Amino acid sequence: MKCPRCGSMDDRVIDSRTAKEGEATRRRRECAECGNRFTTYEYVERSFPVVVKNDGRREPFDRNKLERGIGRACEKRPVSAQDIRDAVDRVIQRMTDEFPDEVTVTFIGETVMQLLHELDQVAYVRFASVYRQFKDVSQFKEELDRLLKN
Give the tens place of pLDDT for each residue, 109-138.
999 999 999 999 899 888 988 877 777 777
Q: What is the mean pLDDT of residues 7-27?
A: 92
pLDDT at 52 over 90: yes
Q: What is the mean pLDDT of the chain?
A: 90
Backbone angles phi, psi at 35, to 5 degrees: 80, 0
Backbone angles phi, psi at 129, to 5 degrees: -65, -35
Angle, helix 81-98 to helix 63-73, in steps of 10 degrees? 130
Q: What is the pLDDT of residue 28?
A: 97
Give the tens place of pLDDT for each residue, 67-95.
999 999 999 999 999 999 999 999 999 99
Backbone angles phi, psi at 96, to 5 degrees: -75, -30
pLDDT at 148 over 80: no
pTM to 2 decimal places: 0.66
pLDDT band at residue 57 using 50, 70 and 90 as cut-offs: very high
Q: How far is 66 from 71, CA to CA, in rounded Å?
A: 8
Which residues are within 8 A (CB) of 95 and not within 5 positions of it... i.e. 6 or more apart? 48, 49, 61, 103, 107, 108, 111
Are 9 and 31 a contacting pair, CB within 8 Å?
Answer: no
Counting every residue, how long is the chain? 150
